[in-house]
């Protein structure tokens, strides 16, 4: 998500054990630490922005707009950033991103209207769009031609950014409770540390040989699973984005403390962390219809639970289920996009990012509109409708058959 960037960070891995060739605080490990810092800052920022908007008297629609602003132009900027870092190098583009984030987040600290926050949040999303493509390419450069090392680095990268999403909200809740608007200094600090990490991480490339990938499943089957996964991604990211934008207001209406709201929202991050770890250690979920359908069903059930409860424990359970489903659909979408063929792989990864961004934009937007015109909990009902539509799409898109037992599938590069 979303915060919010997911294109390359959702790849399936099969081995998360430490790479023996990578010493502690190696360049690759520094980039992994960078992913934790950036997403911890972003996750805390998005929650602090919502509370600041409430403090300034913003209506529910503005809460929804703030939730989508980070992703509004993120996708096109991220796609362009991939071309820029290929032409000008990884570090320069990442430096521009880190510097921009620090400057914009400092400006948000001094914003005095919700509309200033909205404009600055949009600029922040653009700045973040410049961050992830060069960092991902940089990590690939450092892994060289060793596919096993690349998979392990990406596996830990997934876990690190997800841990950042999990840590950010509860820390933000505690700081807002104590510091109020000065809580913006938390994302500013993580941005400054990210800038330092970019400056101190050398570029380089390993040159070990890698094993040849196994033969792929027939392309029509891979394409069908890719489209099924993208249908699921829209449903889960709609819910994920809507929850981040609207739950602070819902929690306030139920007299939850800011710290409690942060702790409940952290359940989505905890589930994402667990889901990435599980998916990375097994490939049994690949090319199976049931996991993709089940993730949408779980997301639907989680939103129904949230619709009819006022218990913080049941909200936490609901968001845990939705967070786990979101991660598994992320992994599925990018995995099938990479498996289809080497040709056009970057383009399909960009489409995957656009699909994720679409869900993260329309979730807060629709959630804000529905909350303002119907009721604060009505966004969960809207999410249920989206899940039903996604299930219908999956039924239409499902391949005529799944791969036979023992049939090999293409490996992510």
Whether 257 is covered by a domain: the verdict is yes
Angle of helix 74-88 relative to helix 60-72, nearest 10 degrees, comes to 20
| Residue-range definition of the domain harbouring residue 254 | 27-203+215-397
Whether 371 is covered by a domain: the verdict is yes
Whether 19 is covered by a domain: the verdict is no
CB neighbours of residue 284 within 10 Å: 9
Comparing C-alpha atoms, which of 97, 182, 171 is closest to residue 133? 97
CB neighbours of residue 252 within 10 Å: 16
Whether 18 is covered by a domain: the verdict is no
Single pTM value for the model: 0.70
d(CA 120, CA 51) in angstroms, rounded, equals: 15
Cβ within 8 Å of residue 147, ≥6 positions away: 210, 211, 213, 411, 413
Whether 390 is covered by a domain: the verdict is yes
| Locus of tokens 């109020």 | 180
Q: What is the CATH number of the domain that holds 277?
A: 1.20.1250.20
d(CA 191, CA 98) in angstroms, rounded, equals: 6
Cβ within 8 Å of residue 344, ≥6 positions away: none
| Locus of tokens 């905890």 | 270
Cβ within 8 Å of residue 20, ≥6 positions away: none
Whether 247 is covered by a domain: the verdict is yes
Comparing C-alpha atoms, which of 82, 3, 67, 77 is closest to residue 35? 3
CB 60 within 8 A of CB 372: yes
My answer on whether omega of the bond before 2 falls inside 30° of 0, hence cis, is: yes
CB neighbours of residue 369 within 10 Å: 17
> Within its chain, how far is the Cα of 209 from the centroid?
31
Number of domains in the chain: 1
Whether 402 is covered by a domain: the verdict is no
Whether 134 is covered by a domain: the verdict is yes
E strands in 134-266:
none
Encode the chain (413 residues) as per-residue pLDDT tens digits: 434 433 333 333 434 444 444 555 788 899 999 999 999 999 999 899 999 999 999 888 888 788 778 777 877 887 777 678 777 878 998 999 999 999 999 999 999 999 999 999 999 999 988 887 777 777 767 765 554 565 577 667 778 888 888 888 889 989 998 899 999 999 999 999 999 999 999 875 533 334 444 445 678 888 899 999 999 999 999 999 999 888 988 998 999 998 899 889 889 878 988 888 887 676 778 788 899 999 999 999 999 999 999 999 999 999 999 999 998 898 788 778 766 664 555 566 657 777 887 898 889 889 989 998 999 999 999 999 999 999 999 999 988 765 554 454 443 33
């Amino acid at each position: 998500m979303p915060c919010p960037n997911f294109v390359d960070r959702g790849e399936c891995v099969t081995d998360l054990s430490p790479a023996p060739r990578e010493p502690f605080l190696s360049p690759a490990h520094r980039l992994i630490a960078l992913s934790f810092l950036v997403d911890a800052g972003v996750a805390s920022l998005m929650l602090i922005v919502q509370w600041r908007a409430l403090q300034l008297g913003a209506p529910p629609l503005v809460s929804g707009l703030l939730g989508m602003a980070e992703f509004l132009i993120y996708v096109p900027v991220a796609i362009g950033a991939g071309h820029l870092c290929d032409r000008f190098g990884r570090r320069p583009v990442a430096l521009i991103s880190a510097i921009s984030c620090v400057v914009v987040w400092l400006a948000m600290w001094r914003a005095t209207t919700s509309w200033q926050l909205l404009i600055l949040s949009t600029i922040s999303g653009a700045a973040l769009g410049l961050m992830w493509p060069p960092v991902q390419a940089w990590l690939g450069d450092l892994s060289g031609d060793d596919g096993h090392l690349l998979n392990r680095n990406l596996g830990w990268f997934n876990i690190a950014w997800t841990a950042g999403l999990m840590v950010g909200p509860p820390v933000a809740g505690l700081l807002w409770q104590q510091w109020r608007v000065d809580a913006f200094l938390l994302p500013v600090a993580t941005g400054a540390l990210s800038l330092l990490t970019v400056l101190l991480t050398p570029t380089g490339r390993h040159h070990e040989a890698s094993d040849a990938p196994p033969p792929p499943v027939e392309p029509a089957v891979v394409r069908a699973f890719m489209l099924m996964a993208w249908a699921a991604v829209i449903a889960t990211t709609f819910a994920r984005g809507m929850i981040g934008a609207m739950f602070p207001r819902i929690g306030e209406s139920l007299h939850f403390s800011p710290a409690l709201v942060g702790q409940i929202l952290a359940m989505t991050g905890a589930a994402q962390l667990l889901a990435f770890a599980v998916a990375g250690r097994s490939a049994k979920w690949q090319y199976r219809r049931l996991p993709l359908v089940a993730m949408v069903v779980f997301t639907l059930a989680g939103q129904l639970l949230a619709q009819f409860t006022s218990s913080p424990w049941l909200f936490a359970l609901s968001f845990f289920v939705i967070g786990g489903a979101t991660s598994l659909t992320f992994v599925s979408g990018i995995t099938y996009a990479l498996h289809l063929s080497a040709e056009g792989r970057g383009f399909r990864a960009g489409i995957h990012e656009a699909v994720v961004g679409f869900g993260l934009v329309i979730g807060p937007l629709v959630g804000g509109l529905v909350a303002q015109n119907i009721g604060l909990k009505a966004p969960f009902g809207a999410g249920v409708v989206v899940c039903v539509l996604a299930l219908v799409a999956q039924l239409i898109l499902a391949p005529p058959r799944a791969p036979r037992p023992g049939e090999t599938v293409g490996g992510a590069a």
